[in-house]
Copies of this chain bind each other. A is one copy, B any other.
């Protein structure tokens, strides 16, 4: 049953050799229009689907992919996308896919540039990039386009109009802001206050933070049935604990009845001990990312919700989509927004488990 038909079948049907079928299949040229037409007709009639297994085995081509993302030494967050990339690499080990990492120091645009130049000086088939720097990122992508090097962006999205731009894989920042708002709205009483707090430098230059803020605020302005007072805070240097303590103290004093705080990055854990010192353990907290420091507080009920952005999956899907594009010539979606998982103590295990789960191949 279920006899799969191969190129020799369509060759026979079309009255040509399998060599000709192969040439039609891969647009290698040197095929007469008549032959091409016969082959196409036969393929359509027999509903030919290439056998990827045999194809992969026979193919001699190898594919080189460069990865340009921040060094995980400086920010452990980047270990997760990296883990996803390595898992993808393992999944593709029987295909000739080579992956080279170019980690750049995350606060060093010059280093970012020099890494990019090194990539561009070599012969890669594609690039997986997470461009932290707005201006430099745009420049690098422009250079890629000049060299016709296709790329996929993860985590940070710089808009480009080009054939080379294949996809952005990451989160929808605006939606994540709304989600945080909805969660706080659920747990905060009518008439009370909720705070959105940026704990980063240069907040206004970071598009994703601006978007999160928009989402958060728009949720409450749309939702007119319940009145919640929204305040916005911003503090750059989380390592200056004394100043941060002072800042939060003043904010909470001048804002009446704050019942919830939304921190727009993974740095929520910094304010937990401070709130404790201020005797405000009643405040409900929402933040991002399942990093150890946050998890600790999630486990003992200090943090109520963490929104998970699937960083590992971002890396994994980045490579898998490039594979899809390069090797299997499939269309890939230009925008791939990953789920915003709502994580609590009771379901966190499912999002952490790193058991040897299935490996995902894209056909």
Interfacial residues of chain A within 315-349, with CB under 8 A of chain B in the complex: 317, 320, 324, 333, 337-347
Q: Using a CB-CB cutoff of 8 Å, which residues 1-54 of chain A contact chain B?
A: 1-2, 4, 49, 51-54
- Name the distance in Å between A338's Cβ and chain B's nearest Cβ: 7
8 A Cβ contacts from A90-126 to B:
90-91, 93-96, 98
Whether B186 pairs with A347 at a CB distance below 8 angstroms is: no
A223 CB to closest chain B CB (Å) equals 9
Known contacts A1-B98, A53-B53; A175 and B359 CB within 8 A of each other = no
Among A186, A351, A358: residue with most chain B CB under 10 A: A358
Whole-angstrom CA separation of A304 from B226 in the bound complex: 15
Q: How far is the CB of A151 from chain B (nearest CB, A)?
A: 19
Residue in B93, B337, B341 whose beta carbon sits within 8 Å of that of A341 in the complex = B341
Residues of chain B contacted by A304 (CB below 8 angstroms): 186
> Which of B1, B186, B358 is within 8 Å of A187, CB to CB?
B186
A127 is an interface residue with CB less than 8 A from chain B: no
Contact with A339, one of B53, B317, B350 (Cβ below 8 angstroms): B350
- Categorize the interface residue count of chain A: 35 or more
Binary interface encoding of chain A residues 53-73 relative to chain B, with 1 for a CB under 8 A from any of its CBs, else 0: 110110000000000000000
Question: A179 at the A/B interface (Cβ < 8 Å)?
Answer: yes
Closest to A363 in B: B359
Q: How far is the CA of A39 from the CA of B45 in the complex (A)?
A: 48
**Contact present for B363 and A360 (CB under 8 Å):** no
- Judged by a CB distance under 8 angstroms, whether A362 is at the interface is yes
Does A214 sit at the interface, judged by CB under 8 A? no
Assess whether A224 is interfacial by the CB under 8 Å rule.
no
How many copies of the chain does the oligomer comprise? 2
A265-298 interface with B by 8 A CB criterion: 284
Cβ–Cβ < 8 Å partners of A54 in chain B: 57, 94
Complex CA–CA separation, A145 to B127 (angstroms): 51
Find out whether the CB atom of A53 lies under 8 angstroms from the CB atom of B362.
Answer: no
Would B57 and A347 count as touching, CB distance under 8 A?
no
- Residues from chain B with a CB closer than 8 A to the CB of A347 are 175, 179, 339-342
Contact of A53 among B90, B94, B317 (CB under 8 A): B94
- Chain B nearest Cβ from A308, distance in angstroms: 10
A2 engages B98 (CB within 8 Å): yes
User: Is there a chain B Cβ closer than 8 Å to A355's Cβ?
Assistant: yes
Docked Cα-Cα span, A1 to B342, in Å, equals 43
Q: Which residues of B contact A340 (CB under 8 A)?
A: 346-347, 350
A interface, CB within 8 angstroms of B: 1-2, 4, 49, 51-54, 56-57, 90-91, 93-96, 98, 175, 178-179, 182-183, 186-187, 189, 219, 284, 304, 317, 320, 324, 333, 337-347, 350-351, 355, 358-363
Instruction: Contacts A179-B346, A219-B346, A339-B351 known; list 17 others, CB within 8 Å.
Output: A1-B98, A2-B96, A49-B93, A175-B347, A182-B346, A183-B344, A187-B187, A189-B189, A320-B358, A333-B355, A337-B350, A340-B350, A341-B341, A342-B347, A358-B362, A359-B362, A359-B363
Can you list 15 contacts pairing A with B, beta carbon distance less than 8 Å?
A2-B96, A2-B98, A51-B57, A54-B57, A54-B94, A186-B186, A189-B189, A317-B358, A320-B358, A338-B350, A340-B347, A341-B347, A342-B347, A359-B360, A360-B361
Report, nearest first, the 3 A-B pairs whose CB atoms are least far apart: A339-B350, A342-B342, A361-B361
